[in-house]
Amino acid sequence: MSMEKQSPIQCLILGSGPAGYTAAIYAARAGLRPVLYTGSQPGGQLTITTEVENFPGYPEGIMGPEMMENFRKQAERFQTDIRYGLATGVDFSKRPFKITIDESEEIFAETVIISTGASAKWLGLESEQRLNGHGVSACAVCDGFFFKGQDVAIVGGGDTACEEAAYLSKICNKVYMLVRRDELRASRIMQKRVLNAPNIEVLFNHSTVEILGEDSVSGILVKDHLSGEEKTLNVTGFFVAIGHKPNTDIFKNWLDMDESGYLITTPGTTQTKIPGVFAAGDAQDKVYRQAVTAAGTGCMAALEAERFLAAEEAGAE
């Protein structure tokens, strides 16, 4: 039996992006002795980002991985217990809550802050996974630089895809944008930016059949839905921008979520429907999905966990 069954963790944080680390900083300074599990991607999505220019306090910008290293050091400075591991199951039926780590270790916690973030969605092609990192990417801002002056393709029709296509158009020779439908879903201003760029060619009603190349991308085979014709585009880079999926599957039977899997919290708070379980960052935010808003909700979750425990203590006296 683990020691934590006898004395449960007061505040358990799942995930190590801006939301998780900010929650840890606040919880640790409040004396909650938080334990943070990093999840499968320590540092979260920002570790696959290059320069972050829109986080306040960094006038010259900062590299994503370096910024997350700073977050981690700050959480450690206040004695956050940071552990490597992934939550693979939960039992929220009673407190202390039971959480399974890496399918083997069971730990117990009085409060849980879920900051498990979101992951990029992929098309699901075998060639896409095989060539991931060898011409295939889910982050144009991270990897676009490697395709300077080359021809590339990007898949998607929303704001993110348009933003990334516009970004690529500044450094690449030609950008093909593959859109499944006959229109872009993006906001007007983003659509205008893409449609007015001379080196972006939007291919509506097109989908990707296969990514070509053995060790690196040499082209893609695409299909025109209207004519049924297939053709090859000679590109060396292939970017996927079809959205994100929140990492919330293990909470399915316990917490309310929307049709995409984003956790639903009481408006204006990070409280889920189970008292003592809070959700912060991209696991519950499908609107803004920014590092600064994730950090903000991480702060809220820690303050709410602290108040929850204090109210309980006061009630017990």
Q: Which residues are catalytic?
A: 139, 142-143
Tell me whether residue 314 is exposed, middle or buried, using C-beta atoms within 10 angstroms of its C-beta: 0 to 12, 13 to 18, 19 or more.
exposed
